[in-house]
Each structure stands twice: as C-alpha cells, then as structure tokens.
Amino acid sequence: MHFREFRQAGHWPTLVAAFLYFDVSFMVWVMLGPLSLYITQDLGLPVSEKFTLVAIPILSGAILRILIGFLADAIGPKTTGLLAQLLVMAGLGWVALFGLHDRQQAQLLGCLLGVAGASFAVALPQASRWYPPRFQGLVMGIAGAGNMGVVLDSLIVPVLAERFGWQAVFGFLLIPLAVVFILYALMARDAPTQARPLAWRDYAGVLRDSDVWWFMFFYSITFGGFVGLGGALPLYFTHWYHVSGVSAGVMVALVVFAGSMFRPVGGYLADRFGGIRTLECLLAIVSLSYVAVSRLPEGPSPAVTGGATVAGWALAELPASAWVAVALFFAGMLALGMGNGAIFQLVPLRFRREIGIVTGLVGCAGGLGGFFLAKALGVSWAWQHGFAGGFLLFGLLPLLGLAGLVGVRRRWRTTWGAASGAQV
C-alpha cells in the first residue's frame, strides 16, 4: 500500500478531524480514572465505591453509543458530533465553576461524561464511509487511535490536581476541547453516501444476526479491557503498590500508550494477514497477561509518604514489583489495543451498509466490558482485599473469545470474507 494511494482514496481532513474528536472525547470520558484519586479523597468514599465511580462513565458511554449512533444516522455524523461536544463542554464548565459536593453529584457527572465516550459511534463511521474496503483496517485504526486521550489524562490530570486542585482540572480541559471543536467544525465532512435514517426495528433486525453478537463479545474483551484498565489502574496502583497520584499517572500512561498507539498496527496487520488470525494471537496474549497480573503480590508501603495530596512512592523510588506489574500490563494492553484494530478491520467488511448501527452496538458492548472490569476489581477488593479474583475472571474471557473465533472462522472466510475481496 502506497501513502499516495491511501490519501487519494478518501478524505484525509475528515479522518484527522475524527481522530482529534475521538482523542479529546476519550480524554474527558476517562478523566475520572486519575481524578478519582483526588475527588474521592475529598468525598470520603471507600475503595469499592471509588471503582464504581470510575465505572459509571464507562457504562453511560456504552449505553449512549447506541443513542448517539442512531442520532448520527438520522441527522448526520458532523451535526451529532458538534452537539455532543457542546454538551460535554457545558458540563465541564459547570463543575469548574461550582464543583462537586457529594457522591450523587459525582455520579451525575460520570453519566454526563458518557456523552464523550459515545463519540466512538460518530467518529469511526464518519471516517470509515470515506474509504474503500481494502483500507478499512488502517482507517479504523487511525480514527480509533484517538483513545490515546487516556495517556494525556494520566500524565496531566494528577499534576494539575496536585498543583491547582481537582476542580481546576475541569477548566483546564476545556481548552483542548474548544480548540478541537473549532477544528472539527472546519475540517470534518460527511461522506457523500450516508446511511439512511434508522428506526428501532433496524436495531432489532441487526441483532438477529449472530455475527453481531460475536463482534460485540470480542470487543467487550479488547476495548472493554482497554477502557476498563485505563479507568481503574490509577486506583489499582495507588492501593496495591502504594504509589503517589503523580507516579500512578505516569505508570498508567506507560501502559495505555501501548494500547492506543498500536491500535493502527493491529488494523494494518489484520489487513495484511487477516483479522481472524491476528485476533486469535492477540487474545492469547491478553489472557496470559491477566492471569500473570492476578498472581502478583501486594507491594510494600513507603516509610515516609511526603506531603502530596495523594501521597506514596515517588516514581524514582518505586519497588521492583511495581515495574513488573507495569511490564505485564504493557504487554496485555499492547494486545488489547491491537485487538481493537483487528476487530474493526472485520466489522466494516461484514456490515458495510449497517456500519453506523453495528458500530454503536459493538462500541456499546466494549463499554459494558470496561464497566464490568472496573466493577469486578472493586468487588474483588471488597471481598478479599485484593484484585486476583477480578483479573482471573477477565483472564478466562479471552479464552472463550478464542474458542468462538475457532468456531466461526471457516464460515466467515468462505462467505462474506470471500466476497469482500480483503484479507480475512
């Protein structure tokens, strides 16, 4: 594949705009991950409720992806994206001015942040419809790499919260949101061939296709693992390895960098070697990573924690066991991110005409997977004062996904895969 051919095949300003929109939206969607360390400290929430708080935006985003996908097909992706961005900016501005004073307000904020998570159902179909089947893996990988917003969250949010307080963070995040809103309004264009407006019966019709359910299951593992860990790892590192908020942010940034930056690589490998074969290898790596993490012992507490708001080990003082955890999570997140790209090489090939509705459903399943991962870690802590149970549970799911792929690969390759003209 030549870059010139790729550039001439679609509309690259829309692809860039979709990437930026998804990037800042993802950053806002998972901001409660690192910020929960500070908000929950002021609100006095127990550990299990901290994991619930970071899981709420993931659940809200999962549900809203279906509604936003429906709206994008009805009034157009660009109009939907602009309206969603305005709503999110209004919510952040409110919190920046008036703050959060109890658990209920924090939970309502989490529900609103789900609107940002629903950007998936706008940005990816908007980019996909501009490009032919042979570029779908790469295009969806580039647009989906906007999930690197969680890297920015992990690096920036703890530093801002330590220096200016957590409420000020909402005001700071309005700056990149406003810049991207302007760029998106200027650069993004809806493809000439848009999907017809869909009714709810169309969703019911698509759900009667077993392939939709398989893609939903696979994505609940890969994207669910990515977003669930992105939200929960700051709490995991601070409670299991007793690190400071800033140190936890850097550790999470290292981990999620692998998942976000290598999503396009997963799409490229799927275009080259087939999405099924690529995904089979990646699911095996994910399972091994989760199981290995579940066996890690709790790290030692520092004798002196310093004067930070969220105190603990500084980055230069981290025990070796904490770096072992980072390495295992890095490998697992690498496979999760590439798995996301591989799945969305296959989805547009199978559901070209229904890409908007299927993207919403598959994205919803991914968000649900992330919600249950974060929630399972909180429940695991409440039951056993540890995280082994939660990680073991999610170590079994990739094995089930691998078995499912083995069961469907022959049919997929000999039916719609053969008709697509792409590598499946």
The identity of residue 44, as a single letter, is G
What are the structural domain ranges in the chain? 12-187+208-413
348-377 pLDDT per residue, tens: 888 877 776 787 788 889 989 999 999 999
Residues 153-182 have a mean pLDDT of: 94
Predicted pLDDT of residue 3 = 61
pTM of structure: 0.87
% of the chain exceeding 70 in pLDDT: 95
| pLDDT at res. 271 | 87
Average pLDDT estimate for 10-16: 84
d(CA 235, CA 37): 7
So what's the pLDDT on residue 6? 65
Higher-confidence residue: 321 or 148?
321
Taking the domain 12-187+208-413, which CATH number applies? 1.20.1250.20
pLDDT digits (tens, 9 = 90+) for 85-124: 999 999 999 999 999 988 999 999 999 999 998 887 888 8
